[in-house]
Structure 1
Amino acid sequence: MKRFAALYFLYLALLFVFFYAPTSALSTLLNEGQTKLTLFLLGLFLEPGQLKGIDIWVNPHYKIIINQACNGMIPILFLFASILAYPSSVLHKLLWLLIGYIVFSVVNIMRLLFVSYATQTGNGQEEFYWSHDLVGNALLMLTGLGLFIAFIKNSKKRHYCSLK
């Protein structure tokens, strides 16, 4: 368990430095690509003209801005760190990294659509708070937990080698 925790935090730090923080052209490219993918998928479900650039206009006076923090990469990287730290085969990890990415991308789109709908049908800021900060974040946490449990249940445990 200590080894898992140590590896988890190491992988989490490395993933955030190399794939989220604006530390390289690669991380910037990945986040811009993920944000563009998120906006494209949102555009398929929003009303015509509701999505303008990175803004979802929920009414003429209130918009939701979709930026790097909304593209779903943060929960994806938390899940990736968990999968990478867990003792399992490389092929099994790669499969679940792909599954996790796809599931989180879909769930994030559903979350953003829910936040947009709740904010649009309500009076704005109050509905945004509970739909985004409470329900939306709980949905992402439960999705990550569910995916990691499914990964563990479908994994053949490999024991770490220890030096004595």
Structure 2
Amino acid sequence: MRGYRRFALGAVAVSLAVALAGCVAPSDAPVTPTAVAPSTGSPLPDDPSTIPPKPTASGIVPAVTVAGVDVDGLTVSASGFVAGVSEDGGTCSFGFTSDAGQTASVSSTGIVNVDTTSCGLVQLPISDFSRGSWTVVLTYTSLAAGDYVSEPIELDIP
């Protein structure tokens, strides 16, 4: 019994030492508060993923979430989703248009995603694009509700 008490007391002592190891004694050094810049509460307008799409009468709203040249410089990628409808099988068409009038397009099949429809990631070879300013629009053709078009998103092809 005596050995058990020593073991128990040792275990308690070790537990207290571990628990107190993270404690810090108070310091007499003055604390200088730092000011934090107030948030404007508004996202940057250049970030298309934070710009809410305009609602439609039906509540179905496509949105391009990403559009740009991939890191490897060989492809242009875009992705998007459709709020207000959650279905498999609709058609997501990404249409690219340059300031000079050149066009490129690629489509994907919509995939149900809880309360939205995901259009996934689409890619086109960079050779389909000329240098300069482009816009991309997502047109979603719902199986049951018709066609819906997103707001255009700008991208630059270097």
Q: TM-score, normalised by structure 1?
A: 0.24
- Give the number of the structure whose residues are more often strand, by fraction: 2
Give the structure with the higher percent helix.
Answer: 1
Structure ranking higher on relative contact order (CA contacts 8 Å, 6+ apart): 1
Question: Which has the larger Rg?
Answer: 2
